[in-house]
Amino acid sequence: MLMELFDRLFPINRSITGEGVRQSLSILNEVVPISQREYPSGTECFDWTVPKEWNVKAAYVKDGQGRTLIDFADNNLHLMGYSIPFRGYVTRTELMEHLHTKPELPNAIPYMMSYYKENWGFCVEHNRLHEFTDDRYEVMIDSELKEGHMTFGEGYIKGSSDKEILLSTYVCHPSMAINELSGPLVQTMIYRYLLQKENPKYSYRFLYLPETIGSLLYLSLHGEELKQNVVAGYVVTCVGHGESFTYKKSKRADTLADKAAIHVLKQSGKPYTIVDWNPFGSDERQYCSQGFKLPVGSLMRTMYGEYPEYHTSLDNRELISDEAMQETVQMYIDLIETLEANETYECTHIHGEPKLDKRGLYPYMGGTRTKAEKHRILAITNLIAFSDGSHDLIDIAEKLNVSGKDLREAANLLEQSGLLRNIKEIRYDLATLMG
């Protein structure tokens, strides 16, 4: 299903506004319910303004003999994003001022855009520059920049709590594969999984945004609600290829989002890299800005800027794989299930150890134990010892080097027997912090 969706989405000319976004969201809406929300050009979002809506019918460059050298119909990367309408003849010198190549990757069409300054341009493979020998060229850009709308997609699953987990990806990139179609595809599969999950504890929000301006718009509309409700969030991007995972921490670095992601990666046994938050990347830049400081990181595979084909036409179907995307979906599911299972307890019996055997939680007879018994006893005794309201299941699992969600069964047993009380929200132990 992933690759079929990919093949339908890939050719569409997406940008931060325009029909391409709407078409892409409609296709994904066949799989999961995505509301399309629209805000008019000129809408202010903090320091930024929603730009005009951009759509393209056709664009080409022809040489003196009328031969088509560049055609938007061949690859929508040929036209610089947000190119204004233009029709006329230009000299070679004039053309060259509007022609962009990437010399270090001569077979690639680079990805260029000029959202906030009116301009036009074409992008072409560097090793095709030799074809541009004529003195005069016909340039035709049948595009439109109008007072229209910016569109973004949103999905929401209501859980038992208003506290929510946020997944955010972006739908503004034209025909590229890792960055970006892998993000919306993977996010959609996670969303589909969660639709089928019974009684989720958390609510889930799925944003499909134009990058940067979209998250700024969303924050300007709902930032205070997100501050209130988001317990963990992840930007889903660059999830289509690579041997290992990359987790980029939230700016606060010590949030539940970070703790859970690093725990799950560690327990997965798969290779991974942790990188600090920095102001290069995607919408975690906005989510983590000083006014919001949301607990939002980004769980990726090989990330933006770390593979040579980044932001060029070579970032295409050949680079990604269904397998890598499925593996990422599974890692996100593990992460979400760990967050779902995670709770903070305090032990109700604090003077010495409670007597476990009389509650059926411990074998009556001393002696050797099976491995399963040992694991259960390990979980139970450590939960009792460390559940003091300032350690959640993930913290205790880290001490034992086991998976946090694997402690939940023992925690349930202990809660049923009255030995643990779920305190809902972690309490930081000031005395411990102060030494």
Contact mark string toward a second copy, 53..92, x via CB under 8 A:
---------------------------xx-----------
Kindly tell me which of 121 and 297 has the beta carbon lying closer to a second copy. 121
Dihedral of alpha carbons 121, 127, 128, 132, sign: positive
Cβ contact 63:233 at 8 Å: no
Kindly tell me which of 212 and 321 has the beta carbon lying closer to a second copy. 212
Kindly tell me which of 62 and 78 has the beta carbon lying closer to a second copy. 78
Helix (H, G, I), strand (E, B) or coil at 361: coil
Kindly tell me which of 372 and 428 has the beta carbon lying closer to a second copy. 428
Q: Of 291, 305, 308, 418, which one interacts with a second copy (CB under 8 A)?
A: 291
Helix (H, G, I), strand (E, B) or coil at 153: strand
**Span of 55-63, 127-135, 321-329, 343-351 interacting with a second copy by CB under 8 A:** 343-351
Question: Shortest Cβ distance from residue 277 to a second copy (Å)?
Answer: 8
List binders of a second copy among 293-332 (CB under 8 A).
none
Contact call for residue 111 and a second copy (CB under 8 A): yes
List binders of a second copy among 23-52 (CB under 8 A).
45-48
Q: Of 8, 100, 197, 201, which one interacts with a second copy (CB under 8 A)?
A: 100
Question: Shortest Cβ distance from residue 435 to a second copy (Å)?
Answer: 6
Task: Please list, residue by residue across 257-272, b when 16 or more beta carbons sit within 10 angstroms of its beta carbon and e when fewer do.
Answer: bbbbbbbbbebbeeeb
Contact call for residue 280 and a second copy (CB under 8 A): yes
Dihedral of alpha carbons 271, 406, 203, 44, sign: negative
Question: Shortest Cβ distance from residue 361 to a second copy (Å)?
Answer: 12
Cα–Cα dist 356/336, whole Å: 31
Cβ contact 339:409 at 8 Å: no
Cα–Cα dist 201/105, whole Å: 48
**DSSP codes of every residue in 120-138:** --EE--GGGGGG---SEEE
**Span of 27-35, 106-114, 158-166, 324-332 interacting with a second copy by CB under 8 A:** 106-114
Cβ contact 210:45 at 8 Å: no
Q: Of 169, 286, 298, 342, which one interacts with a second copy (CB under 8 A)?
A: 286
Dihedral of alpha carbons 43, 286, 308, 176, sign: negative
Contact call for residue 113 and a second copy (CB under 8 A): yes
User: For a second copy, how many residues bind (rule: CB under 8 A)?
Assistant: 62
Cα–Cα dist 259/18, whole Å: 38
Question: Shortest Cβ distance from residue 286 to a second copy (Å)?
Answer: 4
**110: which 2 tokens?**
């680079």
Closest CA to 186 of 335, 17, 35: 335
Contact mark string toward a second copy, 347..386, x via CB under 8 A:
x-xxxxxxx-xx-----xxxxx------------xx-xx-
Q: E strand or H helix at 169, and its extent?
A: strand 164-170
Cα–Cα dist 50/102, whole Å: 29
List binders of a second copy among 188-247 (CB under 8 A).
212, 215-216, 219-220, 223
Q: SS3 string of 241-268?
A: CCCCEEEECCCCCCCHHHHHHHHHHHHH
Kindly tell me which of 107 and 278 has the beta carbon lying closer to a second copy. 278
Contact call for residue 428 and a second copy (CB under 8 A): yes
Question: Shortest Cβ distance from residue 111 to a second copy (Å)?
Answer: 8
Kindly tell me which of 22 and 285 has the beta carbon lying closer to a second copy. 285
Kindly tell me which of 198 and 433 has the beta carbon lying closer to a second copy. 433
Q: Of 36, 43, 114, 330, which one interacts with a second copy (CB under 8 A)?
A: 114
**DSSP codes of every residue in 3-15:** HHHHHHHTTS---
Kindly tell me which of 216 and 265 has the beta carbon lying closer to a second copy. 216
Closest CA to 129 of 92, 86, 173: 92
Instruction: Provide the β-strand partners of residue 150.
Output: 39
Cα–Cα dist 408/400, whole Å: 14
Q: Using CB under 8 A as the criterion, which residues of the chain lie in contact with a second copy when the complex forms? A: 45-48, 80-81, 100, 102, 110-117, 119, 121, 212, 215-216, 219-220, 223, 251, 254, 276, 278-280, 285-286, 289-292, 347, 349-355, 357-358, 364-368, 381-382, 384-385, 388, 399, 428, 430, 433-435
